[in-house]
Amino acid sequence: MKIIKHAQSCLEVLTKKANFLIDPGTYVFEDEGKSVNEFSHIDAIIITHPHYDHFDEKNIQELCSIKDVAVFAPSDALLSIKCDNSHEVRDGEHLEFNGAKLVFSQSKHGPLPNGKSAPDVIGVKINDGANSIYSPGDSLYLNTDSGTDVIAVPISGTVTMDADEGAKQVEKLSPRFAIPIHFDNPAYPADPKIFAQKLKNSRTEARVLSWGEYITL
């Protein structure tokens, strides 16, 4: 399994069974400068919730027009796109895709600064039979089991947990690796080095990745 960090909360998860793209939002294409063609190898897109920094409707729609990519997302996100191979996901759902197991679980989005209602968020765990990764999307807690190899941890402290809260939850779950996400949004910046420092003496190795950097399991 190869896990590539992209802007904000976007992760590219490449396995021998299938290639996944989690939460490709506007920052991936506008700030990081990625093009849709660079994701033509992706087999499935997973959307945790329909906020623009996790869900770029235009580019996801374009990718669907290039190839028969599967889209797994909550119902409110699927209203905005027309992809033939779309699947609504709910809390507690277990699916199999190209031999990889997908487990979807409820997350909890923090209050929005503008006072609007926070959306429902569905996190995902991908298990390729050898390794697993869990990404909660925007969440105040981590909803996965202690057998997960890699956990992506949102640390902005605005609409998600902060670095200290994230580190404490990671210590309880003891994954092999923790990858901080949701810290490079200019509206909600956070220092991932603080998160890594808090896990320095734990059983989990924190990996702070810049755009395009990756880890291989």
Q: What is the pLDDT of residue 144?
A: 97
Query: What local confidence, expressed as pLDDT, does residue 185 receive?
Result: 82
**Cβ atoms within 10 Å, residue 209:** 17
pLDDT of residue 186: 80
N- to C-terminal Cα separation, the chain = 5
What are the 10-residue block averages of pLDDT along the chain, 217 residues in total?
Answer: 98 97 98 97 98 97 96 96 96 97 98 91 98 98 97 96 98 98 88 97 97 98
Pairing state between β 70-73 and 44-46: parallel
User: Which pLDDT value is given to residue 112?
Assistant: 92
- 97 CB-near residues (< 8 Å, 6+ apart): 18, 43, 44, 70, 72
pLDDT of residue 109: 97
- Look at residue 89 in the predicted model and tell me its pLDDT: 98
Phi, psi (5° rounding) for residue 119? -80, 165
Q: Which residues does 74 contact at the CB level (< 8 Å), separation at least 6?
A: 47, 48, 49, 50, 88, 89, 90, 119, 120, 121, 122
pLDDT of residue 188: 81
Which domains occur in the chain, in start order?
2-216 (3.60.15.10)
